[in-house]
């Protein structure tokens, strides 16, 4: 059987002028495009002597044999012409077949197709419409997956895949969608990108400078234009860009494979506690079990989880190997020096920020070792194992805190940021910016929309405890960051980037912590609060930096041509674990497989930003408490900055230079002071 293209290429085409003449069209009625294609003059409609009959052909999917709307329409038009009916066929952007990964194209198929098939398919399936449709199909699939039970556990706050349209419509750049009840999707922040922005890349520098001089209003968009053009050196020829674009979907395969395997396919055995009671072990229950006061349950869960992961260690390694090979492919193709440089360039973060973070943490590992020794002492164990890392060392000190009390305490703690700041907070509390309590069908956790027009919205699932109060100030930090950025920045520079996204939220938490510590003399309560604070340092600054260093090692392995095997990855991870936790901690053999469960390793050097944000937040909070009004003034400039500058520059204006090790060193100096105080409190 001949292929569609063989049939098309063997067809003997009539000149388009002959076809026009057979339809009774005059020369002035057609605009030829070569020998076999033409456009019909739109004014021809006014010459129509009578109305014809219209037949609409529609469908939801091709038949099993492959016939879709286009193929059926072509066959129908041919058949009607064959029986003497004067028939013309109109096809409207017939590009969805290839977009959906199915047989077909713009021209039909078999002997029921339009020729020249190659030209038509190139135009319709390679044009902007098809690009936009393919993009928006993926966007729709993401939201539909969330709507249908969210089997992949997608966090709507972290969706960066936007819809697109072939128009720079400022009204749609940043929106909240999914409103109107459950049947209309899940409310989240969204927006539209322009389908094609490459034209901006092609403008010569001298021409762009002339545009700025001739039109002062263009200055508003300089930052947005610069963000596009800063990667100009890494943009390739149209032919190469086309190849890289075609490879884009392949590059996502490692992440998709890991997600499906880890979240959907993996099953773990049940485990027992000290009383012999059976507990269901899942990826979601694993960490809560490690937080249990029951050491038998912690140990059993730890060993069972990693025993199961070890059975698939080669599968996990293969996906990571593919992940870093694709990073290397694109980094090499775009002429970057490393996978790290290529990944950070997208976020405008210098490589030295990443490296300084690791160096600074290495210089403060002695404090982590002291924390580990203190944890061992307080837990009263002969050996401290990795399954002892999460369980609280100060228990039974949590207090009941109503939402009204939490609001009052938040206002007191954040009063240091000025009356104008707390006035907005009070407006948020009074005017339904917050959805506070659990409800049927409501998503779990906490969330703040990134849309500041007319104001942000905050979702909580409040419990009357200390953690929920910290969650409240955390999410209101996001809300205030968004409110300030949207109020003081034009739309194109209002959206702040991930590198600074957690700074304001964490700064609020630290100010609350300092406030609570400053108003209590109760030894048990102070110990409870300090332990909470120390665990933030451990989990956010030390642990995320350890992950970042492991990513860096994997990138170097890929760049040198070394395979990321299970044995090699486990050896490197175990060595890092021993380095970061020290000799007091028993680095159990099982922990060598922890890399198998970390989804962030598929996010292209993402996790370091947790550590840098925490360090920056500590530095900012310290300066606010130390300097008062002058620091608050600078902080509000930061909150109002959106993405008007590179993120590192926004922080530097606040007095925090993440290009140096100083913010990390200062944060870890505080970590050391807190260890000393907790040690004194607990004897």
Evaluate the omega torsion of the peptide bond into residue 454 and state whether it is cis, within 30 degrees of 0: yes
Exposure string for 56-65, b = 16+ CB within 10 A, e = fewer: eeeeeebeee
Residue in 630, 635, 643, 640 with CA at minimum distance from that of residue 616: 635
Phi, psi at residue 352, to the nearest 5°? Answer: -65, -25
Residue appearing with tokens 């090979």: 325
Is residue 163 within 8 Å of residue 191, measured between CB atoms?
yes
Radius of gyration for the alpha carbons in the chain, expressed in angstroms and rounded = 30
* Residue 339 CA: distances (Å) to CA of 247, 523, 555: 17, 49, 6
Q: Name, in order, each residue with C-beta under 8 angstroms of 605's C-beta and a sequence gap of 6 or more.
A: 339, 340, 343, 344, 354, 548, 551, 552, 555
Task: Indicate if 677 belongs to the active site.
Answer: no
Which of 475, 590, 594, 646 is labelled catalytic? 475
Beta-strand relationship, 188-190 and 447-448: unpaired
Euclidean distance between the first and final Cα of the chain, in Å? 85
C-alpha–C-alpha distance, residues 543 and 607, integer Å: 10
Place of tokens 């999914």: 178
Give one word for 203, left, alpha or beta, with left for phi > 0 and alpha for psi -120 to 50.
beta
DSSP 210-246: HHHHH-GGGGGGHHHHHHHHTTGGG---HHHHHHHHH
Distance of CA 374 to the CA centre of its chain: 37
Which of the residues are catalytic? 475
């Amino acid at each position: 059987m001949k292929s569609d293209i063989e049939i098309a290429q063997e067809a003997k085409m009539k000149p388009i002028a002959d076809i026009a003449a057979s339809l009774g069209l005059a020369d002035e009625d057609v605009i030829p495009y070569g020998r076999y294609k033409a456009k019909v003059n739109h004014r021809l409609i006014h010459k129509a002597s009578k109305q014809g009959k219209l037949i609409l052909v529609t469908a939801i999917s091709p038949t099993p044999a492959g016939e879709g709307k286009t193929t059926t329409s072509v066959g129908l038009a041919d058949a009607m012409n064959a029986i003497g009916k004067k028939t013309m066929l109109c096809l409207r952007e017939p590009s969805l077949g290839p977009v959906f990964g199915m047989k077909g194209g713009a021209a039909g198929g078999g002997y029921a197709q339009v020729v020249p098939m190659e030209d038509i398919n190139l135009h319709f399936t390679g044009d902007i419409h098809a690009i936009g449709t393919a993009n928006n199909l993926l966007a729709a699939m993401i939201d539909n997956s969330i709507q249908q039970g969210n089997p992949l556990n997608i966090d709507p706050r972290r969706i960066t895949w936007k819809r697109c349209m072939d128009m720079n419509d400022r009204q749609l750049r940043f929106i909240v969608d999914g409103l109107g009840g459950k049947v209309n999707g899940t409310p989240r922040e969204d927006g539209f990108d322009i389908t094609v922005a490459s034209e901006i890349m092609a403008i010569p520098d001298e021409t762009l400078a002339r545009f700025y001089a001739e039109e002062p209003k263009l200055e508003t968009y300089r930052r947005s234009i610069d963000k596009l053009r800063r990667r100009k050196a890494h943009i390739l020829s149209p032919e190469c860009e086309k190849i890289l674009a075609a490879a884009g979907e392949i590059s996502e395969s490692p992440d998709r494979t890991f997600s499906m395997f880890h979240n959907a396919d993996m099953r773990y055995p049940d485990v027992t506690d000290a009383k012999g009671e059976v507990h269901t072990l899942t990826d979601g229950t694993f960490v809560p079990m490690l937080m249990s006061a029951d050491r038998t349950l912690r140990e059993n869960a730890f060993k069972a989880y990693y025993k199961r992961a070890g059975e698939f260690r080669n599968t996990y390694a293969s996906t990571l190997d593919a992940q870093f090979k694709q990073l290397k492919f694109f980094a090499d193709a775009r002429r970057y020096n490393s996978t790290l440089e290529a990944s950070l360039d997208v976020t405008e973060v210098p490589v030295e920020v990443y490296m300084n973070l690791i160096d600074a943490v290495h210089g403060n590992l002695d404090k982590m070792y002291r924390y580990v020794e203190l944890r061992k002492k307080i837990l009263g164990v002969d050996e401290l194992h990795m399954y002892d890392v999460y369980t609280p060392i100060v228990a039974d000190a949590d207090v009941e805190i109503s939402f009204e009390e939490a609001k009052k305490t938040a206002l007191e703690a954040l009063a240091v940021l000025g009356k104008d700041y707390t006035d907005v907070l009070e407006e948020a509390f009074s005017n339904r910016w917050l959805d506070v309590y659990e409800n049927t069908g409501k998503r779990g956790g906490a969330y703040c929309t990134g849309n500041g027009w007319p104001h942000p919205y905050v979702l909580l699932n409040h419990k009357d405890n200390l953690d929920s109060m910290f969650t409240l100030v955390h999410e209101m930090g996001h809300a205030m960051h968004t409110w300030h950025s949207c109020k003081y920045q034009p739309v194109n520079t209002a959206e702040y980037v991930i590198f600074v996204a957690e700074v304001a939220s964490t700064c609020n938490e630290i100010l609350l912590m300092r406030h609570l510590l400053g108003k209590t003399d109760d030894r048990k309560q102070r110990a409870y609060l300090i332990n909470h604070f120390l665990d933030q340092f451990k989990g956010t600054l030390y642990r995320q930096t350890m992950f970042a260093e492991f990513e860096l090692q994997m990138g170097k392995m890929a760049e040198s041509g070394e395979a990321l095997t299970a044995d090699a990855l486990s050896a490197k991870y175990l060595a890092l674990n021993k380095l970061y936790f020290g000799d007091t901690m028993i680095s159990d053999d099982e922990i060598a497989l922890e890399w198998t469960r970390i989804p962030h390793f598929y996010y292209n050097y993402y996790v370091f930003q947790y550590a840098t944000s925490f360090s920056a937040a500590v530095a900012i909070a310290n300066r606010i408490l130390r300097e008062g009004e002058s620091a608050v003034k600078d902080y509000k400039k930061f909150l109002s900055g959106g993405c008007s500058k590179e993120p590192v520059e926004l922080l530097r204006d606040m007095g925090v230079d993440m290009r140096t090790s100083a913010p990390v060193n200062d944060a870890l100096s505080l970590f050391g002071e807190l260890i000393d105080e907790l040690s004194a409190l607990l004897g």
